[in-house]
A and B are shown apart, each in its own frame.
Chain A
């Protein structure tokens, strides 16, 4: 069925296509996953932060960058605490401090509590967790620039319902936090303490109860608004859809096995392509069951290409550089060296700054 599209105009202040922002962020994330060089990782965080500061809107979710930044710091801190108390797999010679070691029974061999804390071990943990924190920050940047709900609207019809489940799950977390705060306050009103682990655990059941209630309420509201209406399709089409999707997924799985085990170098790649094509066909055919239409889809213009392209380019350059000069991207721990900032990878990361200039400014809603 041909659809007459009425996308939003591509001029003036507007929201960039959410897919472009997520591609950009995933590109930065892929860049981060290729290196443990702390200077490069911090540079990626800075690039993401600058773009967010330059191009985020004034909606409530635009503040999520800070939340993810704090989450990243938390991950970093926890990893360091574990590295200090549980030791590290990296052997090291520079002992910073020796903690009293807890004697453990012989069946707990390999587990160590306390003992030597080495500079190598700490740095290894620091680099490793910094990489994870950087990935979180990239996701946070995507969240701040384009809320997942907007991304959902750009999904093909057949994936829409699965997408809704994801979005509902994502809004679950902030609501849960609000509930915990409210119920902890209520505990205080009953004379209980609102601090400490017990206070948080004590409200567990009521929090889950109210979260469940909220989900049921939302499901009812969505149902009354026509969510899940399907068009009648001939059973043959429905069967073909299911068969194509299943075969496609199976093909992708087998091909992935072949690629990883390295004995199917010849047949794995064609099978992968075939599987992907089959799954895509299934999705396309499946979209015929969905009756949904889309209200004012975001256009995909040169600006979107530039934003998504900058992320992908940064990732691609980094992968290429990693194969050429792996040493610069993973600073050596044994022997201990101070990490330097390699010029070419740094330039590759800086490509990710492009959206700060090319992305359109978002419209200000509250005037």
Chain B
């Protein structure tokens, strides 16, 4: 269905080709997952299929990409619109109209389909994606998962042969991601649509993939193969694969269900053992206290009677579905929202009444998009500005950058950094003022496994230096690996608060893969299991 013949892509401003030596065929009706580290050219590869590369982005495309027999070099994206449907990470950037029904019809209107055909297909698509209840709703009034489903539906109505998805679930909470993935699987099974999808969160998607296309990056040739085979050697892999590799299962299980069926002997071996207890910080006085906090945002109450203490040296994960109030809680701690009731105190200050210059010495927030924090032209200028902003010794921020982001060039533009590097730079900028409390909003969005491992290290170091860390995240694996404590928010209220193992093991939505495989054992991460097995063998 999609063939790449000796494809390479070179952008004008860069020395290295963004994509090199892609020569493969993706057959019809496959769900093909595109994996690889950041910067390996995943988005570029997806762009060549929809025709956006090179028609929209510029750059030079060598070789040939054909989709359903159409050469994307001679066909502009609009002329491919009836064979390729494209959905990106942010559904709101994709919408052209303002209600669900109109959005579903938009692509068909552009193609000039007959009105009665349009009418029928809109109804079919509403049913297929479970959107019938929402047909008249305004797109901005939908939840993240619903928006992403509408975005997929809006390209489905033209009956494309190929669906191209760039990180469709990375902005979604676990429940909404399941919704979207269930829809994709249904398309592949029932309609025979070929799906090409890039995604960093492999633990969510790899079990649905028929084939995996691995882009190792750095000039190595791409590998296309059966999911289990590719995963056995892939540098990026989900915990279930890591566990399978560590224990030596073959063929490698890709889903929790397969792994669970294989894991009975492992569970028996681990029975009676417990993971080495995490180094729980010594109890200390709370550096931040939230007491019966209520915040109103527009007509809706965003927080209702939240109580939370943050202690130095403790990493707390804040979880909950999109719109549960996580960002509002973080914003309240840095004084972005005025409480309608209750109180917030950080290091003895009341955030919304404190001057920003004083507040940043107590608490720092890395927002969802770290780019918001960065506005200078170069890394060096950014560091100098950060020193000035927080009245720190000149060079403080640069030293932090050197520690968090070794080997970065002073003259690099922050925009040219990868997602992970940008996050580290923003974190360095925040740390320049030496705040005791550090807040991160969705830090792992768009990060690959290597960048995530680096972030885990950095945050552990910060906690060891007795910073209090609070991170809002949808990433259950990150929370399991990193957090001492997990807090779950729903509808602006705290519904669970306690040590991470106790909270996540029992929860179907928030349990990490290892916990699901080895339940009812108390295991959360692969390193814990590996350590326990090594200890057993040493005996």
Residues of A within 8 A of B (CB): 3-6, 59-61, 147, 149-150, 153, 182-183, 185-194, 202-203, 205-206, 214, 217-229, 231, 291-296, 363, 365-366
Contacts and interface: CB of A to CB of B under 8 A. Distances in A.
Nearest to A182: B372
Contacts of A223: 52, 55-56, 76-78
Contacts, number: 168
Contacts of A220: 52, 56, 77
Contacts of A363: 136
Contacts of B249: none
Interface string B117-135: 0110010000000000000
Contacts of B386: 190
A226 B82 contact: yes
B94 A293 contact: no
B136 A365 contact: yes
29 contacts: A3-B114, A3-B115, A4-B115, A6-B115, A6-B119, A153-B102, A182-B372, A185-B372, A188-B356, A190-B360, A190-B385, A191-B357, A191-B360, A191-B389, A192-B356, A202-B375, A220-B56, A221-B93, A223-B56, A224-B50, A224-B80, A225-B106, A226-B107, A228-B110, A229-B78, A229-B111, A295-B105, A295-B115, A296-B119
Interface string B356-386: 1101100011010000110100000000011
Contacts of B375: 202-203, 205-206
A79 B215 CA distance: 62
A60 B372 CA distance: 26
Nearest to A294: B109
Given A186-B372, A295-B109, A228 B356 contact: no
A219 B118 CA distance: 23
A4 B372 contact: no
Interface in B329-371: 331, 334-336, 355-357, 359-360, 364-365, 367
Contact of A225 (B116, B119, B137, B154): B154
B379 to A, nearest CB: 15
B148 to A, nearest CB: 14
Nearest to A210: B371
Nearest to A168: B96
Contacts of B116: 4, 6
Given A4-B115, A6-B119, A296-B105, A149 B86 contact: no
A5 B110 CA distance: 17
B499 to A, nearest CB: 30
B372 A5 contact: no
B99 interface: yes
A191 B385 CA distance: 11
A171 to B, nearest CB: 9
Contacts of B389: 190-192
A243 B98 CA distance: 36
A206 B371 CA distance: 9
B108 interface: yes
Contacts of B412: none
In the complex, which of the residues B154, B335, B356, B433 has the most CB atoms of chain A within 10 Å of its own CB atom?
Answer: B356
Contacts of A187: 356
Contact of A227 (B78, B82, B141, B336): B78
B433 A226 contact: no
B433 A224 contact: no
Nearest to A205: B375
B81 interface: yes
Interface in B145-183: 154-155, 158
A242 to B, nearest CB: 22
Nearest to A164: B96
Given A224-B51, A293-B114, 5 more contacts: A189-B360, A191-B359, A229-B81, A296-B101, A366-B137
Contacts of A231: 112
Contacts of B141: 59-60, 366
B88 interface: yes
A202 B331 CA distance: 21
Interface in B68-91: 76-82, 84-86, 88, 90
B429 interface: yes
B286 interface: no
A206 B367 CA distance: 15
Nearest to A295: B105
A114 B114 CA distance: 67
Contact of B78 (A185, A217, A226): A226
A205 B377 CA distance: 12
Q: Which 9 A-B pairs have the closest CB atoms?
A: A226-B81, A226-B110, A295-B105, A291-B112, A186-B372, A365-B136, A191-B389, A191-B360, A59-B138
Contacts of A149: 97-98, 102
B160 to A, nearest CB: 10
Contact of B102 (A203, A214, A291, A295): A295
B119 A227 contact: no
Contacts of A150: 98
A203 to B, nearest CB: 8
A153 B101 CA distance: 13
Nearest to A222: B96
Nearest to A216: B56
A116 B359 CA distance: 48
A147 B114 contact: no
A220 B115 CA distance: 26
Contact of A218 (B55, B81, B93, B433): B93
Interface in B50-67: 50-52, 55-56
A225 B94 CA distance: 10
A190 B429 contact: yes
B110 A227 contact: yes
Given A191-B389, A221-B94, A225-B155, A292 B110 contact: yes
B509 to A, nearest CB: 25
B52 A293 contact: no
Contacts of A6: 115-116, 119
